[in-house]
Amino acid sequence: MSNLERFYNLVDGNYQASATGCWLTTANPYTGADWAEVPQCGIDDVEQAVAAAYRAFSSGPWARLNATARGKLLRRLGDLIARDAEKLAALEVRDNGKLYAEMLGQLRYLPEWYYYFGGLADKIEGGVLPSDKAEVFSYTKREPLGVVVAITPWNSPLMLLTWKLAPALAAGNTVVIKPSEFTSCSTLALMALFKEAGFPDGVVNTVTGFGHEVGTALVSHPLVAKVAFTGGDATGASVYSQAAKNIKHVTLELGGKSPNIIFADAHIENAVKGAISGIFAASGQTCIAGSRLLVQRSVYQQVSEKVVALARTAQLGDPMLSTTQVGPITTLPQRDKVLQYIDVAREGGAECLLGGKRPEAEALANGWFVEPTIFADVHNQMRIAREEVFGPILSIIPFDDDDEALSIANDTPYGLAAGVWTADIRRAFRFTDQIRAGTVWVNTYRAVSFMAPFGGYKQSGIGRENGQVAIDDYLQTKSVWVNLAEEVLNPFVMR
Ligand code: NAD
């Protein structure tokens, strides 16, 4: 038996290892050393978890619980997450290397999702329908879908899980969670809080392991009604086509290549901070990263110099320290992918103004760091401007006027987010209208809320998380017809 810390899955209310007894190790990106193990599940574990969720949905106490009681459970869970925020945030940092300050901020904010969607649980209403037929009464009911599979990536495990769990449970579904194989520990730790809050067995279950093994088995399972997925676009496309085989509902939150546009009339100091937070926060490992910085040519030199000067001051280091501003990349394959994209940018002809390599400091040698990197004179057709890197690599692209800025901003297969920095209110509104993205920020960047719908246009995804609309993606509508007539008329014609 290894001496690494072990985490267990929760299935039907029981903590358990995998059916085969195999384990997956998980490493700390700051030290590069393995620190924990999670069960490496297979098909048998998938069967067990889906069966438990299906039972809980169809016939367990959850199925009989009224919506107000469901809401109370969610709010109790929110209180418990608030109580354990520090502990859960520290686990996330060990697993994904993001800053403790960032993860603690997320964990302290997460209860709001459970309060908000808990409050929404008993406000899911159908309606009485007007009728064009005599002596019928018809109405709609809004019902949960059934078993929801929630598949999450490694960048913000508990936040991206919460965006799925809170509306799914508020709507009355049951859930099987498949966290990233790189960052499963915080999700497994969270499960104890579901038990403590009093959720019935089988309502929330976990299956850890590899995407190509348990991920595909979950997505193609006939008893699963919906897949809610966040991750890479290639995986998203594969999940979409697998789910289509038995017509499952899907929500896909995929990648982005978001434009962050600075006009000459903007408050330049603020815009520079917005550019930095857009790409170097979380070491660029966010789907909303403002990885394409579009700068109006008259301030191009000035903005480039200021962005480089501010990025140069970023403190790389131990993500648990409050003085650290940029942590490591979460996984070793991702660190290598980021370094490869630096070569891609150079080969494409972009000029490297900052970084472009691993840091040399001895103290950072074991961690999976990449220096904050800035490329200038990027053309929007270069690969570095078209493909999602998911790392601390900024491409600066010049433009002359509004039309050119808009055309470059929209010339991407993605459409997750965009930023516009300008003092001109009419231009701000024109851009919020014409940018093809699910979120547009004006004179700010990287704001999200439980109240604001979030999701992608184009290849950045399908469906919305957060806000009242999110719950619609976890419900279906039933129309009910009640005949009030004494006599049933001609059976050979439609009523
Ligand atoms: P991924 O898409 O490979 O994995 C996301 C989740 O899907 C993981 O839990 C994984 O195990 C699972 N999965 C993998 N293959 C699957 C399959 N065939 N069927 C079902 N589930 C499967 O993403 P990743 O490894 O976490 O990161 C890869 C890339 O995705 C990154 O380089 C980045 O570009 C992007 N990414 C995007 C986001 C986002 O929020 N949009 C987050 C993380 C990563």
Complete DSSP assignment for 22-60: -EEEEE-TTT--EEEEEE---HHHHHHHHHHHHHHHHTS
What whole-number percentage of the chain has pLDDT above 70? 100
Give residue 163's pLDDT.
98
Look at residue 111 and tell me whether its pLDDT is greater than 70. Answer: yes
Band of pLDDT at residue 489, cut at 50, 70 and 90: confident
Give residue 2's pLDDT.
75
Give residue 364's pLDDT.
97
Domain co-membership, 176 together with 283: no
55-83: average pLDDT: 97
Look at residue 1 and tell me whether its pLDDT is greater than 70. Answer: no
Domain co-membership, 95 together with 220: yes
Between the CA of 269 and the centroid of ligand 1 the distance, in Å, is 35
Between the CA of 308 and the centroid of ligand 1 the distance, in Å, is 31
Give residue 490's pLDDT.
87
What's the pLDDT tens digit per position in 306-365?
999 999 999 999 999 999 999 999 999 999 999 999 999 999 999 999 999 999 999 999
Look at residue 437 and tell me whether its pLDDT is greater than 70. Answer: yes
296-306: average pLDDT: 98
Look at residue 190 and tell me whether its pLDDT is greater than 80. Answer: yes
What CATH code is carried by the domain that includes residue 95? 3.40.605.10
What's the pLDDT tens digit per position in 368-426?
999 999 999 999 999 999 999 999 999 999 999 999 999 999 999 999 999 999 999 99
> Residue 277's domain spans which residues?
259-442
* Angle ∠(298,342,101) on CA atoms, nearest 5: 85
Any atom of ligand 1 within 6 Å of the Cβ of 212: yes
Domain co-membership, 349 together with 431: yes
Nearest to 74 by CA among 29, 16, 117, 124: 117
Given 37, 92, 102, 253, the catalytic residue:
253
Please list the alpha-helical segments (H only) found in 171-215. 185-197
Alpha carbons 281 and 302: distance in angstroms, whole number = 22
Give residue 495's pLDDT.
80
pTM value? 0.97
Type and span of the H or E element at 336 = helix 332-347
Domain co-membership, 468 together with 362: no
Domain co-membership, 311 together with 409: yes
Please list the alpha-helical segments (H only) found in 171-281. 185-197, 216-219, 233-244, 268-280
Type and span of the H or E element at 81 = helix 67-83
Look at residue 56 and tell me whether its pLDDT is greater than 70. Answer: yes
Domain co-membership, 370 together with 474: no
What's the pLDDT tens digit per position in 245-267?
999 999 999 999 999 999 999 99
Sign for the pseudo-dihedral over CA of 111, 465, 194, 93: negative
Alpha carbons 164 and 226: distance in angstroms, whole number = 11
Q: Taking a C-beta distance cutoff of 8 angstroms, is the pair 23, 38 a contact?
A: yes
Q: Taking a C-beta distance cutoff of 8 angstroms, is the pair 408, 436 a contact?
A: no
> For ligand 1, atom 10, which residue shows the shortest CA distance?
211
Between the CA of 35 and the centroid of ligand 1 the distance, in Å, is 22
What is the SS3 assignment for 347? helix
Domain co-membership, 129 together with 70: yes
Any atom of ligand 1 within 6 Å of the Cβ of 92: no
Q: Taking a C-beta distance cutoff of 8 angstroms, is the pair 330, 102 a contact?
A: no
453 belongs to a structural domain? no
Q: Taking a C-beta distance cutoff of 8 angstroms, is the pair 37, 24 a contact?
A: yes
Structurally, how many domains does the chain consist of? 2
Look at residue 484 and tell me whether its pLDDT is greater than 80. Answer: yes
> For ligand 1, atom 31, which residue shows the shortest CA distance?
232
